[in-house]
A and B are shown apart, each in its own frame.
Chain A
Amino acid sequence: MTTKTADAVSLTSATKRFGPVRAVDGLTLAIPRGQTVALLGPNGAGKSTTIALLLGLLPPDSGRAALFGLDPEEAVRQGLVGAMPQEGGLIPRVTVRELLTFVSGTYAAPLPLDRVLTLARIGDLRDRRVDRLSGGQAQRVRFAMAVCGDPDLIVLDEPTAALDVEARREFWDGMRGLASQGKTILFSTHYLDEADEHADRVVVLGHGRVIADGTSAEIKRAAALTTVSVTADGESAWLSTLPGVRHMEIRGGRVHLRSGDSDATVMALARAGAVRELEVVPADLEDAFVALTAKENA
């Protein structure tokens, strides 16, 4: 396998245990160059450990990790990778400019500093001391450290965790710019809407395994993500046979239908005249996750 054609990220049957806990459990994942991939899952699903394995920060107990066909440490050494861990990485007593100048200097062909400052929207912070930044500002500086070397693969562990709504939107605008330059981007999140909007492909992790892998539309279908609720009149077992319905639950006179195709389900309800107090609620990640793991265990 040469580095010209190899996948940007490749994990093969990777396993990592911490004591009795299998944080990553026989995980296989290949990401071709140029894809933007979201690693989605609740806390404890193994997202950060997966990222640590593929960056070479942790050795797998078994299995293999490779970046661009190289050992992860070698890929990092060649400047092919930029990464932003979930937290930390900022040191006291340096300015933003000094810090970024240093990190850029470790790469062979970094971006010009001004370009990095613009990309991370920290131009006005350049002479500020790193230890005197707010949480959101610090997060942007950490992002700048990940991209300043102009790496081909950018790995971000929960990049928007400390950001407010506006900052989050601006962050993703910047990311889209990078993706359009053909960078491979892997980010982890527990926000379904972020994965939905910003990733070409969503990989759902649970208990250290891949439990779903596809476009966000495919994931939603697989997870039967939308709940359609109506108030029941009399016998309602027939509702479970409507198009799209995967699961039915009756609570306090309300029928809750989990649907993989809510449009079809609602249309069918309308045709049957059973739309009393109709409510359509897209499920959150927790529901999707429960649905996906339940399916996997079945």
Chain B
Amino acid sequence: MWGYVRLELTRSVRDGGYVIFGIVMPVVMYLVFTNLGLAPGDRHDAAIYTMVSMAAYGALGGAFNNGSGIAEDRAAGWLRQLRLTPLTSAQVVAGKVVTGAVAVVPSIAAVLLAGVLVNHVTLPPQRWLAIVALLWAGTVPFSLLGLGNGYRLSGQSAAMANIATMLTLSILGGLWVPVENFPSWLRAIAEWTPSNSYAGLSWRIAFGDVPTLRQVVLLSAWLLVFGVYAVYGYRRAGRRA
């Protein structure tokens, strides 16, 4: 299975979509937002808040891109080829999930590093640890949603669906513009999105608060929904492969 993970990571690194959506764009947007005064609050707070937003945005890009790869693989006959190797299907799915989990690390790391090196963000070590852990673990629901799309849809439409979902969740979840600036009706919707809960956990930690119960419950509920969706997609794909 680790051979599979290594192969998939090699492919990700050479994938322009992953590098652009997952790493380059979030960092560029972060630096633009914070240094052109587009982010709210005082400069240091803005640098922290937007750092979490953009790391979350990049992680979403990495997580969804991983799912798009599945549709591409199925179209190429690669899923069938994998079924003809001694790898079990559980190993293949686990390998893909692990790949997704590893693939979001550079996205998160790049934005956090930009925060430290360019915007001189300083936080106590335990807050750094908690933010990294939550940003990382919180990508699982999005990975599952991306995989579900990848299993259920064909190559091009899966990629489109994943990019559209990723952008919708990023914007609606307040990763680009804080939900405080939304009209109240939109804000009411935004606060139910998984992306808002996901980034919300780390926003709270970054400013020394404890995540709210609502955020934890909401993200867990979405995890369940997207998990069921991914399993459903995989079963359907298995019948056709």
Contact = CB atoms under 8 A, between A and B. Distances in A.
A91 B76 contact: yes
Given A98-B7, A98-B10, A91 B73 contact: yes
**Chain A interface residue count: which class?**
20 to 34
B124 interface: no
Contacts of B41: none
A79 B85 CA distance: 7
Contacts of A78: 86
Interface string A44-77: 0000000000011100000000000000000011
A117 interface: no
Interface in B2-51: 3-4, 6-7, 10-11, 14-15
B207 interface: no
Contact of A106 (B15, B72, B76, B87): B87
Contact of A76 (B3, B14, B83, B241): B83
A106 B86 contact: yes
A234 interface: no
How would you classify the secondary structure of chain A's contact residues: helix, strand, loop or mixed?
A: loop
A87 B77 CA distance: 7
Nearest to B73: A91
B78 A88 contact: yes
Given A87-B77, A89-B76, A93-B11, A102 B3 contact: yes
A173 B83 CA distance: 28
Q: Which of A56, A78, A89, A99 has the most CB atoms of chain B within a 10 A radius of its CB?
A: A89
A145 interface: yes
A93 B6 CA distance: 13
B212 interface: no
Interface in A7-59: 55-57
Contacts of A103: 85
Interface residues of B, number: 22
Nearest to A88: B77
Contact of B4 (A77, A102, A107, A149): A102
Contacts of A89: 76-78, 80-81
Contact of B84 (A82, A93, A94): A82
Interface in B218-235: none
A78 B85 CA distance: 9
Residue of A82, A83, A91 contacting most chain B CB atoms (<10 Å): A91
Interface in B78-104: 78, 80-81, 83-88
Contacts of B81: 85, 88-89, 145
A264 to B, nearest CB: 47
A153 to B, nearest CB: 11
A83 B80 CA distance: 10
A94 B10 contact: yes
A232 interface: no
B80 A94 contact: no
Nearest to B85: A106
Contact of B86 (A56, A76, A83, A85): A76
Nearest to A52: B80
Nearest to B83: A57
A198 to B, nearest CB: 22
A94 B77 contact: no
B76 A93 contact: no
B83 A77 contact: no
Interface of A: 55-57, 76-79, 81-83, 85, 87-94, 98-99, 101-103, 105-108, 145, 149
Interface of B: 3-4, 6-7, 10-11, 14-15, 72-73, 76-78, 80-81, 83-88, 241
7 contacts: A76-B85, A85-B84, A89-B77, A92-B11, A102-B6, A102-B7, A108-B86
